[in-house]
Structure 1
Amino acid sequence: MNYPAIISVSKLSNWVTRIKDSSFNGRWQEVLSLHNDLNKSGVQLTQPSLFHLIIKACSATSSTHGKTLHASVIKLGVDSCTSIGNSIMDFYSKAGLMDSACSFFHGMKIRDSVSWNILISGHISRGDFDRGVSSFIQARATGFEPNVSSLVLVIQTVHKLGMLDEGQKLHGYMIKTGFLSISSVQNSVLCMYANLEMEYAQKLFDEMSNRDVIAWSVMISGYVKSDKAHVALGIFREMMLSNFRREVDGQTVVSALKACANLKDHIAGRTLHGFILHKGFDNDLFIGNSLIDMYAKWNDLDSVLQAWKDMPIRNSVSWNSFLSGLVCNGKHSEAINLFSSMQKSEIEPDAVTLVNLLQVCKHLADPCICKCIHTVVLRKNHELNELIINTLIDVYAKCQLISFAQKMFDSMKIRDTVSWSTMIAAFTNCGLPKEAIEVFNEMIQAQEKPNAVTILNLIEACSYYSELKIPKSVHGIAIRLGLATETIVGTAILDMYSSYGDIMTSKKAFHQIINKNVISFSAMITACGMNGLPRDALCLLTEMKTCGIQPNSITLLSVLSACSHGGLINEGLSLFQTLIKSQEVKPSLEHYSCLVDLLSRGGKLDLAMELVDQLAKGANVGASAWGALLSGCRTSCTGNDDIREKVVERVLEFEPNNSSGYMLASNTYAARGLWAAAARFRAMVKDRQVKVVAGYSMVHVNNASCKFIAGDRNQFLLKEIHDIVDELHRCMKMENIQVN
């Protein structure tokens, strides 16, 4: 009578043994299969330890059978067992059913540290970082300790959320509990600080008695990301001199290469390249891509090509890095050829590829190529990529296809500040300032806050207006947004007023700039020079040095130009000699050309000619110096005929297809009353079919600027102009009658 029961017990024992064995060896699918066979046999499972194993198998295989097991656990009344409850929670968490996991957790009569760790890890793994950190804080309040894996997850979450204060509290907690002695925890805290505050990371790194290669790599990478590449390179050198030289890995090398690239440290970069070859890292794809990026930033395309050839395998990043290097170095035709090779290699272009190609289009201003790339954008479903769309708008504007640019802008569902600023720049580039300002007004109505780039684009649009009403409005907007005090915006504003001849307001804009730099000082010096205030320009140079700002090559050009136009010949020569002797600025051919202009305008043609002859011995002087000398011949009352003849010959030799040289030569002879010679040079323009750039005037009509080109027979506004001229004549006659 009892024999079948004995058989059932025997079978159950066999099943239990097999389930435990399969579980121990990680054969989770086999565990579920055995449990299924057990159910079919009619033998009921009652051992709590087996429930734990089977639920774990459900978690590992993402099987929905866990819900059925949960019901069985409740039916058998073993759901109060904490270990089984933790297994059920873990199942729901890994299945992505966090609401069910939380509900079960809150219903548990007894919770342990494992329960809390499952809850914390579940929230963080599902991307609910706030609830994960909140659960961790609750666990600490109830006295439960996290395990190492949960603690590392919380640290990573804190640095993702940028919660520096909470991170410091965590740090203190780990010191108190002894968790900080664990290497993985210590490195996680170091990584958190490296992403939030490098000063704290450095302090922790200095306190670490047992550093591993990960700690060194975190510090090097952290300083590179913080734009302190020189510090990163110093730490890498320290690592190479330590016992960790042999443990340097690919990630550390990649960070060091980025530091070399940012610093443009050719010696360190090439030395590191040699170390890479010595260690056999040249087969590492990431290192190969970093080498290409480094040499591209150095404009060393030969080394880029060699690094490219040395790569055994390449991915899309490799192609994009090479392509970007060609684009940045102005090798646009080579970039297009590389893209063709990329297509032949069946490498799919991504967003980075397309943006690089669009930069080529912007330079070439070729509408056909732009439209072809646009079709690729549509085919690859990149039409929602904001970077690509913004670049397309910019490129269409550069190709003078403003209607296409506007269509792209109108099709955007979500517009940010970059999108609005790009469209404003597009209209400005196409000579449509009114439309640019209308877009800005729409931007304000859409409650999108303008940034510095937006204001700079508006200032550019102001250059089309012949009166200061619109520019002053833009200045007011910049002041209200708090941008007028920024260096780049303030400099653009002072330059804008300078171009209108309003030097007083230009000076006010300059004084509003909080952090003046060499660019803002140079712009103000140029403004003074353009508006006949050479003495003020020299005073600004003195003030600049007093502020501890060293002049650069542009500053020297600005001062020399101011002295030249203001007739301060001796001051200009003295300044040039002082800066050259002090080696503050290394003079270029452009500086010497400006010095020739200074001497020529001052009537010192013999000295100017002597300087040009000396320059010609060492280098190709170029047309600018000869042109300045010729201009001096035209204005000088004591011109030397031999010098004039030689200079005219040189100017036409250097720029035979430039009409300005012929016109200047003609005017030079005309100033001497040599009308036959003057007419001869004008005839040469026609004989040699040199294209003449006509002069034009900007006139403000009906709140818009109109350009009137010399010799243009266009009937645009012809009647209005005649009416204005007739009115002027009438007023002049009336004035003449009153005087008489």
Structure 2
Amino acid sequence: MRVPVKSHASLLLGEFSSQNQVFFRYHESKTASFLKLEAFLPFFKHCANFQLVKEGTLAHADAIKMGFDSYTSAGNSIMSFYLKLGMKGCARNVFDEMPWKDSVSWNALIHGFSSQGDSQLGLCLFIEAKACGFVPNLSTLVLVLQACWKLKALTEGQCFHGFIVKSGFTSYISLQNSLVSFYGKSNNVESAQKLFDEISERDVISWSSLISCYVQTGGAVNALQLFRKMSMEDGIEMDGLVLVTVLQACSFVGYVDFGRSVHGHVFQRGFEADLFISNSLIDMYSKCFHMNSAYMVFIQMAQTNLVSWNSILSGLVENDKYMEALLLLESMKKAAVQGDAYTAVILLQACKMLGLEAFCRSIHALIIRRLFELNNFVMNSLLDAYAKCELMELALRLFRQMRSRDVVSWSTMISGFSHCGEPHKAVAFFIHMRLGRHGPNSVTLLSLLEACSTLADLKLSKCVHAVAARSSFSHNLSVATALLDAYAKCGSLNSSRKIFRGMTEKNLLSWNAMIAALGMNGCAREALAALEEMTVQNVKPNGVTMLSILSACSHGGLVQEGLLLFQRMSEDFYDLKPRMEHYSCIVDMLARAGDVVGGFEVIKRMSEEGVEAAPAAWGALLSACRRFGHREIEENVASHVLELEPLSSAGYVLSSSLYAMAGLQDETARLRLLMKEKGVRVVSGYSLVHAKRFLSWDESHLMTQEIYSMVDLLHDCIKWPYDDET
């Protein structure tokens, strides 16, 4: 015989009817002026369940009039009523006025404060209650443990662990799991593992607590191994929380195959409709660089939320699919999903990578409409996007309009000016930053050192070095590497050597910077020695390393050494595939040594291997033809240079010089006419010398007259670039 099952509505009606009976019984006894304590206690529960604040407070007044508030049971009911309504102050007043408090009183108060987010007060109440000798219940103990890890009170939590052992509560699985979770969230993996091993009958919460502990502390591989053991245990039903944690571990270490097997568990357990798990799958596939799989999960979701859209947009940007992210924004609008501040930041990242000025402006308008201007993270991202799109006027205007500026805002502007080739403004901005009493961070110093490198100003580099030392950033690996590079570009190789020797640790970037420093300052053999030392210390060179060392060989005239290193690149010695830059460097090296034919052969070999020679390689070969002479190939080389860089003056000047040397006046005239037709202007090279300056009205210098005479002479000799037409 089939037993009829009550519907959800009928159950609610039944509950409502029973609650009404409590309400009417209380008012009936109140009307009859014969109130009993038994009518009070359920009435407060009724008021709490239905959020009846006024009725509950009136009943509290009636209880005081009748003297029922002196009863512990009544006090507990009134206190519970206030706690359930979030009126913690009233609840504490009731508790303080109770003449006698039992364990129920303390448990209710501690539970109420702890469960409503006031962990600090909940923990203090527990310490106070323990001194009064109360007996806590299981739920109170669990909440106190949660308060310990939320407050990062490791010492108090360890003392509380001792109290649990003494009180004989260690056999309860819920408390054992809470202890594992407490030590895990306190980053004490050893204690968490030890407690886990002591649990005789583990449930899914035990496993997920320890797995989560390993993921939080950087042991993602251990977490995945633990999950594999868990899946082989009998009677353990996986829940959504453990699957999400394992997917997070897969994304940390890039184990996409393991992630796919977890995806299989999701289907097997019927969790594919779980929104939280689907979002975690999108995130896992995105961070493992499998965007097709991430997108398939996204489009197959029956229901999506803002987190889903943000996850797929973030994944596209992380995988360098910037235009796809911006196009997906249209689909988001059609789905009537409004983005949040995080959405704006993701889209700004895509815009700055593509250099799309119009999109940056439209997202700026969106930020204004959605009132995100108070969010510093959003405004700093917008500043960065404008700077990367080289819209520094807009960035500066936005910076001045910002209501609050932090070190990130200042650093973004300094980085923007350095990136846009305005190093003087970057330095000036840093001075204003210091005047505003904003301390620099490592990004500020890196941007400032980039400006120093561009200016090749040794004095300024030393000033930044002093700022880094005072700010305790001089031992930062990135800052130290940037300092090394800045000193090298200022010509102070000894300073670069000192910084490099003083580094406590060195990575590939540090070695690359030192080798490049030696190469650009003419110490080619020392650069070769640094390469050997680098390989001895098990630091494998990359393409940038080889480019720096080949450039050093080229400028140092070490042709045989350079050719040997180039040969080693494609062999097992370095296992690196030569790129266009490496071939161009070899062409330049041979051209400088006068081996024009050898350089031309390298270019032909490049074309055979599917690598197109860069304009720099053809230009180096053309320069060698002019210097050493080679009529057989110079015309071919000249035509390639003009074809690859039709608007560059260097190719025309070199070709014109070659024809003039050969006595081909007609060809020389043809090239000059071609330059005029295309509007190509000759850009002269220059050398920069930093010297002490003096003001025009200052005549205190001993050689004032001689200096003014030299200035007048230079003024007469200099041809102003805008006077070409006259």
* Aligned twin of 1:104: 94
Secondary structure of the equivalent of 1:488?
helix
Classify 1:659/1:538 alpha carbon distance in 2 versus 1 (closer, same or farther; 3 Å).
same
Amino acid at match of 1:565: H
* Aligned twin of 1:209: 200
* Aligned twin of 2:704: none
Amino acid at match of 1:679: T
Contact 1:398 1:429 in 2 (8 A): yes
Contact 1:564 1:601 in 2 (8 A): yes
Q: 1:726 aligns with which of 705, 712, 724?
A: 712
String of CA shifts for 1:478-527, please: whole Å, max 9, x gaps.
Answer: 01011011101111111111111111122223233332211111111111
Structure 1 position 339, deviation (Å)? 0.9
Amino acid at match of 2:43: I
- 1:285-364 mapped onto 2 (5 Å cutoff): 285-364=275-354
**More off after superposition, 477-486 vs 364-373:** 364-373
- 1:151-550 mapped onto 2 (5 Å cutoff): 151-200=141-190, 201-243=192-234, 247-463=237-453, 465=455, 467-550=457-540
Q: 2:32 aligns with which of 42, 52, 56?
A: 42
* Aligned twin of 2:702: none
Distance 1:620 1:459 in 2: 35
Classify 1:66/1:575 alpha carbon distance in 2 versus 1 (closer, same or farther; 3 Å).
same
Amino acid at match of 1:162: K
Distance 1:230 1:659 in 2: 55
Classify 1:211/1:37 alpha carbon distance in 2 versus 1 (closer, same or farther; 3 Å).
same
Amino acid at match of 1:238: K
Structure 1 position 342, deviation (Å)? 1.1
Contact 2:675 2:681 in 1 (8 A): no
String of CA shifts for 1:416-446, please: whole Å, max 9, x gaps.
Answer: 3222322333444455545544543444454
Structure 1 position 274, deviation (Å)? 4.5
Contact 1:187 1:214 in 2 (8 A): yes
Distance 1:626 1:456 in 2: 32
Classify 1:399/1:628 alpha carbon distance in 2 versus 1 (closer, same or farther; 3 Å).
closer
Distance 2:583 2:194 in 1: 52
In the alignment of these two chains, the number of paired residues is 691
Classify 1:575/1:59 alpha carbon distance in 2 versus 1 (closer, same or farther; 3 Å).
same
Classify 1:541/1:409 alpha carbon distance in 2 versus 1 (closer, same or farther; 3 Å).
same
The TM-score, its normalising length taken from structure 1, stands at: 0.82
Distance 1:631 1:327 in 2: 42
String of CA shifts for 1:135-191, please: whole Å, max 9, x gaps.
Answer: 222223333232222222222222222222223333333333343332222222222
Classify 1:599/1:461 alpha carbon distance in 2 versus 1 (closer, same or farther; 3 Å).
closer
Structure 1 position 576, deviation (Å)? 4.5
Contact 1:465 1:700 in 2 (8 A): no
Distance 1:635 1:537 in 2: 30
Structure 1 position 122, deviation (Å)? 2.8
Classify 1:255/1:442 alpha carbon distance in 2 versus 1 (closer, same or farther; 3 Å).
same
Secondary structure of the equivalent of 1:181?
coil
Contact 1:370 1:396 in 2 (8 A): yes
* Aligned twin of 2:49: 60
User: Structure 2: where are the runs of 5+ without partners?
Assistant: 1-11, 694-706, 718-726
Secondary structure of the equivalent of 1:282?
coil
Distance 1:276 1:118 in 2: 39
Distance 1:524 1:726 in 2: 43
Q: Percent identity?
A: 41
Contact 1:597 1:632 in 2 (8 A): no
Distance 2:249 2:224 in 1: 6
Classify 1:311/1:25 alpha carbon distance in 2 versus 1 (closer, same or farther; 3 Å).
closer
Contact 2:585 2:617 in 1 (8 A): no
Classify 1:544/1:135 alpha carbon distance in 2 versus 1 (closer, same or farther; 3 Å).
farther
Classify 1:728/1:511 alpha carbon distance in 2 versus 1 (closer, same or farther; 3 Å).
farther
Classify 1:88/1:439 alpha carbon distance in 2 versus 1 (closer, same or farther; 3 Å).
farther
Amino acid at match of 2:476: E
* Aligned twin of 1:712: none
Distance 1:298 1:527 in 2: 36
Secondary structure of the equivalent of 2:170?
helix
**More off after superposition, 293-302 vs 138-147:** 293-302
Contact 1:490 1:512 in 2 (8 A): no
Structure 1 position 459, deviation (Å)? 1.9
Secondary structure of the equivalent of 2:68?
coil
Amino acid at match of 1:418: V
Contact 2:29 2:36 in 1 (8 A): no
Structure 1 position 55, deviation (Å)? 1.9
String of CA shifts for 1:101-156, please: whole Å, max 9, x gaps.
Answer: 22332333322222222222233234332222122222233332322222222222
Structure 1 position 218, deviation (Å)? 3.3
- 1:633-672 mapped onto 2 (5 Å cutoff): 633-634=624-625, 637=628, 641-642=631-632, 644=634, 647-648=637-638, 655=644, 657=646, 659=648, 662-663=651-652, 666=655, 669=658
Distance 1:539 1:458 in 2: 31
Distance 1:648 1:444 in 2: 52
Contact 1:491 1:523 in 2 (8 A): yes
* Aligned twin of 2:577: 587
String of CA shifts for 1:552-611, please: whole Å, max 9, x gaps.
Answer: 332222222222222223333444455654454422324444444444444455555555
Amino acid at match of 1:237: R
Q: Is 2:101 the counterpart of 1:115? A: no
Contact 1:478 1:484 in 2 (8 A): yes
Distance 2:161 2:634 in 1: 80
Distance 1:381 1:597 in 2: 56
Amino acid at match of 2:23: S
* Aligned twin of 2:134: 144
The TM-score, its normalising length taken from structure 2, stands at: 0.84
* Aligned twin of 1:679: 668
Structure 1 position 453, deviation (Å)? 1.1
Classify 1:307/1:414 alpha carbon distance in 2 versus 1 (closer, same or farther; 3 Å).
same
Q: Is 2:69 the counterpart of 1:83? A: no
Classify 1:78/1:351 alpha carbon distance in 2 versus 1 (closer, same or farther; 3 Å).
same
String of CA shifts for 1:642-666, please: whole Å, max 9, x gaps.
Answer: 455555566666x365637835862
Contact 1:459 1:496 in 2 (8 A): yes
Distance 2:709 2:145 in 1: 78
Distance 1:119 1:140 in 2: 13
Distance 2:436 2:25 in 1: 62
Secondary structure of the equivalent of 1:565?
helix
Structure 1 position 667, deviation (Å)? 7.5
String of CA shifts for 1:363-418, please: whole Å, max 9, x gaps.
Answer: 34444332322221122121111111111222233344444433433343433322
